[in-house]
Amino acid sequence: MATAGKVIRCKAAVAWEFNQPLVIEEVEVAPPQEKEIRIKIVATGVCQSDLYFLCKCLNKVTLPAVFGHEAAGVVESIGPGVTEFQPGDTVIPLFMPHCRECRFCKSPKTNLCVNGSLGQINERSFEQSRISCRGRKLLQFLGTGTFSEFTVVKEICLAKIDPAAPLDKVCLIGCAICTGYGAAINTAKVEAGSSCAVFGLGAVGLAAVMGCRAAGASRIIAIDINPEKFEKAKVLGATDVVNPNDHSRPIQQLLQEMTGGGVDFSFECIGNVEVMHSALESCVPGWGVSVIVGWTDMQNCSAPPIQLMTGRKWTGTLFGGFKGKDGIPQMVKAYLDRKLMVDEFITHNLRLDQINEAVELMKNGQCIRAVLSVSPQ
Ligand code: CXF
Ligand code: ZN
């Protein structure tokens, strides 16, 4: 491409200050360095985690920054030493690297990678950023930074996908869909005929419902305090819907009654430590598994030891346990084979320059996912 090796000037949504609207700016995207790839972002989702670090949890991310990590695009150019990608490849960035060589990558038991998994949210340095604005480096959130027409990622942070995939849909496979679906399939290993409870019916919770159904669960109880979420939950496989505010007794007691002693699997998809405790207690003693899927780093979660001593298991997941370079192409294929729903998650289609509208929709719980079109494919 004519732009290879040159700085690209393009538009990006820049976070200059916490809790303030993003600003569309002209930025400079440097050419990819050793084992890096520059990609043209075609579409990006707006995820609650982008907003969490922008709004709730001051100073975990150093500003100015380019947020966005759930996206799909096309390789524009490759840096020296890149072996897996060619310009023109269709790709999804990984916010969790997958080097295939470290102790974690070699183990089938985890999708962590020694090259940095989220522990490094606030450690990714400005020096490593390839995006700058008026001479100032902008931090690339989670090593990605997809609220930009172009971005640069490491080769270990990129998955190649089927060129036939519609990028304005499969971008959601880059975070929410894998996170929820994988929590059920990979982390909990939901069994056919089992009972499941999903707390929180945002995109991640709905994807967990879909994963429970794919695993053959016979009872999938979807829980939210916003009854407007229930219709979609049923489309994705919920057999029962519950609004905790409609009941005077605690939700865990209600679920125990509904299932004769507790569900086999529960999923917390909110990031609320009280709900994490409720989700654990909703599980049947003996073998119940409760998975923490929602993110918070503002509080610790706790439970009476007897909850665990009686045989419930409490675990958690990042990106649904998927190893990105393998899992993402498989999930894209499942979507193309009509075995995975993705379109159902998209409630709004906007452009990158309308990002602040998308942020407001997400904050108000009015949308599941807004997909922003960023560049033409
Ligand atoms: C999150 C998980 C919590 C840290 C930031 C990324 N995953 C996707 O949004
Ligand atoms: Zn996300």
Query: How does pLDDT run along the chain (377 residues), one tens digit per residue?
Result: 689 999 999 999 999 999 999 999 999 999 999 999 999 999 999 999 999 999 876 667 889 999 999 999 999 999 999 999 999 999 999 999 999 999 999 999 999 999 976 555 555 678 889 999 999 999 999 999 999 999 999 999 999 999 999 999 999 999 999 999 999 999 999 999 999 999 999 999 999 999 999 999 999 999 999 999 999 999 999 999 999 999 999 999 999 999 999 999 999 999 999 999 999 999 999 999 999 999 998 899 999 999 999 999 999 999 999 999 999 999 999 999 999 999 999 999 999 999 999 999 999 988 999 999 999 98
How far away, in angstroms, is 261 Cα from ligand 2 center? 34
Closest CA relative to residue 202, chosen from 292, 254, 268: 268
Distance 350 CA to ligand 1 centre (A): 22
Instruction: Please count the helices (runs of H) and the strands (runs of E) in the chain.
Output: 11, 19
Pocket test for ligand 1, best of 46, 54, 142, 178 (most atoms within 8 A of CB): 142
Q: Residue 121's pLDDT is what?
A: 57
Q: Which pLDDT score is estimated for 96? A: 94
Output the pLDDT for position 118: 59
H-helix segments, the chain:
48-51, 103-106, 167-170, 176-182, 203-214, 230-236, 251-259, 273-281, 305-309, 324-336, 355-363
Q: What are the backbone angles phi and psi of residue 27, rounded to the nearest 5°?
A: -120, 165
Residue nearest to atom 9 of ligand 1 (CA): 49
Find out whether the beta carbon of 111 lies less than 6 Å from any atom of ligand 1.
Answer: no
* pLDDT of 124: 60
3-state SS track over 272-296: CHHHHHHHHHCECCCCCEEEECCCC
Mutate which of 178, 295, 296, 322 for ligand 1 pocket (most atoms within 8 A of beta carbon): 295
What tokens does 202 get?
């945002």
Query: Could you give the CA distance from residue 373 to residue 358 in angstroms, rounded to a whole number?
Result: 12
In this structure, the residue with its CA closest to atom 5 of ligand 1 is 49
pLDDT score, position 125 = 74
Q: For residue 52, which atom of ligand 1 is closest to its CA? A: 5
In this structure, which residue's CA is closest to atom 3 in ligand 1? 295
Q: How far apart are CA 278 and CA 253, in angstroms?
A: 9
All residues with CB under 5 Å from ion ligand 2: 47, 49, 70, 175
3-class DSSP assignment, residue 132? strand
How many angstroms separate the alpha carbon of residue 49 from the centre of ligand 2?
A: 5
Residue with tokens 């975070």: 175
Find out whether the beta carbon of 49 lies less than 6 Å from any atom of ligand 1.
yes
Which 8-state DSSP code applies to residue 7? P
| pLDDT of amino acid 366 | 87
Counting other chains too, the contacts that 297-300 makes at CB distance below 8 Å and 24 or more residues apart are 297/57, 297/60, 298/56, 298/57, 299/273, 300/273
pLDDT at 120: 59
